[in-house]
Amino acid sequence: MNDSAPTSPAAPQASGSAPATFYSIVYPSAQHEAAAVPQDLAAVFHDLFLQSIFDTVYASFLPREQPAYFVASRSDDEAPYRAEVLQILQNLFRTPLQDLDVVRYRQDALRDLQQTALLRAVQRFQQALRDMREQLRRADKAYNVIEGQRWFVDAVLTYGHALQALHQALDAADVHSQAWLAVRAHLAQLLDAQAQRLRMQQAQALVDDLGRLRYAVRIDGTTVTVLQDPGEPDYTAIIADTFARFRQGEVKDYRTQFAASSGLNHVEGQILDRVALLFPEVFARLAQFRREQDGFAEERVLRLDRELAWYVSWLDATQRLTRAGLPVCFPRLTTQQGQIDARDAYDMALARQRIDAQQPVVLNDFALLGQERMIVVTGPNHGGKTTLARTFGQLHHLAALGLSVAARSASLLLFDRLFTHFERVEDIHNQRGKLQDDLVRMHRILQLATDRSVVLMNEIFSSTTLDDALWLARRIMQRLSEIGAACVFVTFLDELAAFDAHTVSMVGTVDADDPTIRTFKVVRRAADGKSYALALARKFGVTREQLLERIPA
């Protein structure tokens, strides 16, 4: 995989050096986060099929529909957490970065996380925090106060053990990224803090002391009496030992298992309250621990858990591609034009569909090097032209998020804005015709685009005459050439393929033996002006000669 571009002199810290104070797994500092502002990218997401890609990434965090027989009292306790994580993911996906340092920060963190042992440790950490949240919910919802206090102790221990396990995994892993080095240092600091060590000692002491309590329960009809331990032997163990000799092979276990999800019933709760009266010192410490340790989980650790969902979900999505034999890489990014180059790139959304259908995925190359600024893509309809434009846009957007991209290797532009101008159905609400709407949208792009922008245009001006379409397209291309933006222009107008010295021509190809078969390979060569309409007409028997032969004399 390719490395990202070297960080600028203002980089917050070189990868692998002494860790800075940990702030976030996706931003090196609060200043970097403040500089990254989510954008309105609805049109871009639609045109590039990015929404389809991202929907699969955070599908598990979307609201879950409950069946008709769902009982209202059985609430979805994780729904608020999933909603919070979903909001984080959506904000991250619509916030392309402007800072090479932050891009590298994320790339390095994701690269480290590809280590199988570390990824599994992170997933165990996430599961532990899910368990902690469940225990805290039980602590808050428990009908019996003492039961809730005991669940709280479990939550504290689960949290502490999760920190220890993740820190041990990071110690054992070969991590080099600033993000993970900072996480490791921060966890070490938390674990070594006197407050955390005392909290864990107290929690474990409570569990041990509660486990050593012995008492007796006497049941006489409807009367239940709780007594001090009479010192009698444990008849359960004696009976089990006596009948163990009769066990032969696998036998059915008739013991009733305690279901933690059910909680204590009112009788069990009253028994527990009376046990607390027998052992006031232990239960007083339990109540005091609950009061004093409220809010024990550190905010940065909770944020780490939520932000890790972004990395882990993206790894799940890309691993599905690599398992199908498709390449994925970390692109090199630059803020300078003339260094765009991708090898074996593909449309990620289309690839998922092809994998599901067990069909091959076609890989393509593209480049804009030196003074080249615009790719004009021509060729037969349904031959992969629009797919190439989408691929170009997908790679640039994903790279600007600091994520891996769908290509074997890539050098891409860290753009300031990404614009798409794809065909739209006529909208009766805006009171504009299709041509006017095309011009209004294109005018806005030309006003905002700079020499660091990426502009993708797909079959525009198809609603006007050929001469008018050529005239308008050349005016727009001239303006974009003056701006110096990186462009991909998918068009049926072959005359545009040799517009100027900054223009690169790419053509969708067909099978050499049968021009009706599209290869979906788009190659760099001069436009040939062939639409292959006659070949298609001949294939389906609708040429003039074929029709005349079928018409009765």
- How far apart are alpha carbons 286 and 280 in whole angstroms? 10
Pair type for strands 418-422 and 454-458: parallel
Q: Is the dihedral of CA 508, 410, 346, 37 positive or negative?
A: negative
- How far apart are alpha carbons 312 and 122 in whole angstroms? 9
Pair type for strands 486-490 and 454-458: parallel
- How far apart are alpha carbons 98 and 417 in whole angstroms? 9
| For the chain, the helix, strand and coil percentages under 3-state DSSP, each to the nearest 5 | 50, 15, 35
CA distances from 419 to 302, 403, 410 (A): 36, 20, 20
Note whether 388 and 394 are within 8 A (CB).
no
Note whether 363 and 353 are within 8 A (CB).
no
Q: What is the DSSP letter of 330?
A: P
Identify the pLDDT of residue 10: 37
Identify the pLDDT of residue 370: 95
DSSP string, 60-73: GGSPPPPPTT--TT
Topology of domain 326-550 in CATH is Rossmann fold (3.40.50)
209: Cβ contacts below 8 Å, ≥ 6 apart: 282, 285
**What tens-digit pLDDT sequence spans the chain (553 residues)?**
444 443 333 334 444 444 568 999 999 999 999 999 888 999 999 999 999 999 988 887 876 555 554 444 445 688 889 999 999 999 999 999 999 999 999 999 999 999 999 999 999 999 999 999 999 999 999 999 999 999 999 999 999 999 999 999 999 999 999 999 999 999 999 999 999 999 999 999 999 999 999 988 888 888 888 888 877 777 777 887 887 777 666 666 666 665 666 688 888 899 999 999 999 999 999 999 999 999 999 999 999 999 999 999 999 999 999 999 999 999 999 999 999 999 999 999 999 999 999 999 999 999 999 999 999 999 888 888 999 999 999 999 999 999 999 999 999 999 999 999 987 655 555 556 678 888 888 999 999 999 999 999 998 777 677 888 889 989 999 999 999 999 999 998 888 988 889 999 999 988 777 777 888 999 999 887 665 565 656 666 777 787 778 788 6
Rounded to two decimals, what is the model's pTM?
A: 0.85
- How far apart are alpha carbons 483 and 442 in whole angstroms? 14
Sequence ranges of the domains in the chain: 34-64+75-96, 100-213+279-323, 326-550
Identify the pLDDT of residue 536: 57
Identify the pLDDT of residue 195: 96
- How far apart are alpha carbons 112 and 404 in whole angstroms? 12
